[in-house]
Amino acid sequence: MKLSAPFYAVKVTGALFHTQGGLEVDEHARVLRADRSPFPNLYAGGGAARGISGPGADGYLAGNGLMTATTLGRLAGEHAAQVITQK
Task: Compute how many other C-beta atoms are within 10 angstroms of the C-beta atom of residue 60.
Answer: 14
Rounded distance, CA 43 to CA 14, Å? 30
* Pairwise pLDDT comparison (3 vs 82), residue with the higher score: 82
Rg (CA), the chain: 19
Other Cβ atoms less than 10 A from the Cβ of 51: the count is: 27
Position with higher pLDDT, 84 vs 17: 84
**Contact between residue 70 and residue 57 where contact means Cβ atoms under 8 Å apart:** no
Amino acid at 37: S
- Residues 25-46: pLDDT tens digits? 999 999 999 999 999 999 998 7
3-state secondary structure of 76: helix
